[in-house]
Structure 1
Amino acid sequence: MAHIPERRSLGRRLKPYFAVFDGPLALILFLLLCTGLVTLSSAGHDFPGRLEGQMRNILVAFVIMWVAANVPPQTLLRLAVPVYTVGVALLIAVAVAGTVKKGARRWLHVGVDIQPSEIMKIAMPLMLAWYFQFKQGVVRWHSFIVAAVLLVIPVGLIARQPDLGTSLLVLAPGFYVIFLAGLSWKALIGLAAAAGASLPVVWSMMHDYQRERVMTLIDPTSDPLGKGFHIIQSTIAIGSGGVTGKGYMKGTQAYLEFIPERTTDFIFSVYSEEFGLVGNLVLLFLYLLLIGRGLMIAANAPNLFTRLLAGSITMSFFTYAFVNMGMVSGILPVVGVPLPFMSYGGTALFTLGLASGILMSIQRHRKLVQT
């Protein structure tokens, strides 16, 4: 009797393709993206095509995340040095022959304009995690000096463009790797003291517009219709939301167009005005779940490279959220950092999708090793 092959359901046929995703992490990202789309539909009511554009960005980010989740950590380890080297080379090319837009030299024209600094958001933690894995756990004081040099080179090149926001988002994951690799608290205190002592030098090296941002942070009312306008209107929106908010699509600050960049950097102001303190607590809870899940993946990672990489990526999510909420609330200078998985934009979302995929790859291959 001939064997009749069993017909598998569509779900069974598709299951292997989606098995690469970590369930809890994917659910948290889904909830954040949905929250972002709901807020964007209100914030971008007078920006035709903005919501549809973000949906396309999410689709591309999903594909990037899926591809990254299928890349084994061993492959990431081999790619670390080449990706970092190419990234630094492109940053040098930008400094020499980059395209200038709005007074900043951040782009390189290679048929299309690309922003090499975005590569370093992932290349930096990859490189430093590779370096400490290469040291095989034998870390001495000079190891941290080498790691610091590897970190300072791209951060300095990006800050010189100038791009303070991106340089911060490259500095943070690199610092997290160094800290998680065993940097002592004594060294941290020493670095903090050195940073404090160098503030006059840093201030003298800052561009005029960067100094103005700091002064605006201290007293936004000194120029309420100019430099302080962003912060004043943002804090009014956040405060006017009260406990429960004004309601979906009922935020007057957003609809009367007082909130600047309300679909990108200042989308948290729109969300706060419409959903209030309760909504903010829900959003903070989602970010805490995201960070908690990432740290759990890092704690269970099979080797030093994956632990450092997962921990650094997870804390980078924290940096994105903390800096964005801080700047729109008036407690940090405005540096152009988007709210992760909420703000409109393709480049940042693609980078976040890549980072999320790497976390899923680390979790998936840990399970494969155990089985």
Structure 2
Amino acid sequence: MLHPDSPWRRFDWPFFLPILGLAAVSFIVLYSAGEQDPGLVLGQAARFGIGLGAFFMAAAIPPRVLGLLAPYAYAVTLGMLGLVPLVGSESMGAQRWLELGPWSIQPSEIMKLVLPLTLAAFLSHQDYPPRATVQITALILIAVPMALVANQPDLGTAVLIGASGGIILFLAGAPMRLFVTLGTLAAASLPTLWFMLHDYQRRRLIGFFNPSADPQGAGYHITQSQIAIGSGGFTGKGWLEGTQSQLEFLPERHTDFIFAVMSEEFGLLGAMVLLGLYLILVFRGMTIASRSREMYPRLVAGGLSSVFFFYVVINISMTTGLLPVVGVPLPLVSFGGSSLMALLTGLGFVMGIAMRRGR
């Protein structure tokens, strides 16, 4: 029996139910994408179970306590990122993980969550809009982990970390001229950045601009993904009937390109249902932010909801050929561990704000 003053009495079911809906979608599509292997689905279910445990633990933390802990979490995560090049484990040419006994931890995934919390804590105690010196300090807080992650190399995650920080800055009232200046500087540095990229990153960009130039190499991922999505039509080919996925033409079909699997088998109708679940979740998160009484919970709820939606847009744009392939999984649907845990923890923080109405 809950105490009359317990925040759990205000548990936000309209925010939580879309999460369960996305979990159901994940299990259904993964069974098909994973060659009908029940072990893959059970593994994802176990990860969801652990992630939901982190969700409820995060929801139990009051926003004020979260604001006090966030800077320390940032410092620890930054230290972990610094250790990756020294003692991190390497896989597929990238050094991104730290081995802690039987567990592998990807600090960059933790930073995607910790940075918005830390920036929100910092900016919530400043004037609105933030002064120039505050903006510079915030940009340094963003740039340091971005540089460490880009060095792993993991350019996609580095961009996501920068975007998550930029969203918090925008919500905190940073002037639009700041973002115009940053965009101009980024565009001006593109020729220099090209020579700093690794060969596989250059091939991905070339494949993005002209997939047909190398359909068996750099353009293969995008070409096969577009074929799968387009061939699904309005209602799809049917569950377990997708030719691109079942005949293994589609690469990374249980992670980065799972949206293509779903679109092929369930068509535009299935994709609209999936997008509807995402929109309900994000809209509810923004509603929670707008009802918060204090600056910090408002920035956290609005920032994390916006970042979540940004990840969805990046993945779908990547699989449809609107953006280069940057290795961003589809939130709560793609098979994964660290990313799933970080996302559910972040959503748990938003739930905690909803239950306390921003207090």
- The letter of the residue matching 1:328 is T
The counterpart of 1:147, out of the listed 138, 162, 166, is 138
In the alignment, which residue of structure 1 is the partner of 2:303?
312
* 2:207–2:219 contact (8 Å) kept in structure 1: yes
| Residues in 2 aligned to 1:326 and 1:360: alpha-carbon distance in whole angstroms | 28
Count of residues in correspondence between the two structures: 356
Q: Give the alignment partner of residue 80 of structure 1, picking from 70, 79, 96.
A: 70
Tell me if structure 2 keeps the 8 A contact 1:21–1:69.
no
| Structure 2 match to 1:210 | 201
Secondary structure of the 1:107 match is: strand
Q: In the alignment, which residue of structure 2 is the partner of 1:172?
A: 163
Task: Tell me, yes or no, if the aligned pair for 2:54 and 2:348 is still in contact at 8 Å.
Answer: yes
Is structure 2 residue 99 aligned with structure 1 residue 109? yes
Aligned ranges 1:11-26 → 2 under 5 Å: 19=9, 21-26=11-16
Aligned residue runs from structure 1 range 91-240, under 5 A: 91-111=81-101, 112-135=103-126, 137=128, 139-240=130-231
Moved over 6 A (4+): none
Q: Which residue of 2 aligns with 1:302?
A: 293
CA distance in 1, matches of 2:36, 2:212: 28
Worse-superposed segment, 293-302 or 38-47: 38-47
Q: Look up the equivalent residue of 1:246 and give its one-letter code.
A: K
Larger displacement relative to structure 2 (233-242 or 193-202)? 193-202
The 1-side partners of 2:8 and 2:239 are apart by 34
Q: Which moved more, 1:164-173 or 1:344-353?
A: 164-173
Please, what TM-score do these two structures have when normalized by structure 1? 0.91
CA displacement 1:271-317 (0-9 Å, x = unmatched): 00011112112222221111111111111112111111111101111
Cα distance in 2 between the residues matched to 1:231 and 1:319: 20
TM-score of the two chains, using structure 2 as the length reference = 0.94
1:292 equivalent in alignment to 2:283: yes
How far did residue 46 of structure 1 move? 4.3
- Percent sequence identity over matched residues? 44
The answer to whether the Cα contact below 8 Å between 1:84 and 1:124 also exists between their aligned partners in 2 is yes
Is 208-217 or 87-96 further displaced after alignment? Answer: 87-96
1:100–1:41 Cα change, 3 Å? closer
Secondary structure of the equivalent of 2:357?
helix
Q: Secondary structure at the match of 1:49?
A: helix
Distance 1:228 1:120 in 2: 31
Q: Work out which of the two has the higher radius of gyration on C-alpha atoms and give 1 or 2.
A: 1
Please name the residue that 2:339 is paired with. Answer: 348
CA deviations 1:298-354 (Å, max 9, x no partner) are 111121111111111011111211111111111111111110111111221111110
Matches of 1:48 and 1:30 in 2, distance apart?
19
Give the partner amino acid of 1:45.
E
Partner of 2:95, secondary structure, is strand
Distance 1:243 1:274 in 2: 10
Change (3 A) 1:49 1:351: same
Checking the alignment, whether the CA contact within 8 Å between 1:21 and 1:66 is kept in structure 2 is: no
In the alignment, is residue 266 of structure 1 matched against residue 257 of structure 2? yes
User: Could you say which residue in structure 1 is the equivalent of 2:270?
Assistant: 279
Distance of 1:19 and 1:41 partners within structure 2: 36
Report what 1:321 is aligned to: 312
**Compared CA separation, residues 284 and 110, structure 1 to 2 (3 A):** closer
Whole-Å separation in 2 of the counterparts to 1:361 and 1:197: 42
On the 8 A contact 1:94/1:108 being kept in 2, the answer is yes
Structure 1 segment 356-367 matched on structure 2, within 5 A: 356-366=347-357
Q: Which amino acid aligns with 1:302?
A: R
From the superposition, tell whether residues 18 and 61 of structure 1 become closer, same or farther in structure 2 (CA, over 3 Å): farther
Residue in structure 2 matched with residue 337 of structure 1 by the alignment: 328
More deviation, 165-174/285-294: 165-174
Higher mean displacement: 57-66 or 223-232: 223-232
Secondary structure at 2:284 match in 1: helix
Structure 1 vs Structure 2 CA RMSD: 1.8
Q: Give yes or no for contact 2:128–2:173 (8 Å, CA) kept in 1.
A: no
Q: Which residue of 2 aligns with 1:5?
A: none
SS for the counterpart of 1:105 is: strand
Structure 1 position 165, deviation (Å)? 2.2
The residue type equivalent to 2:153 in the other structure is P
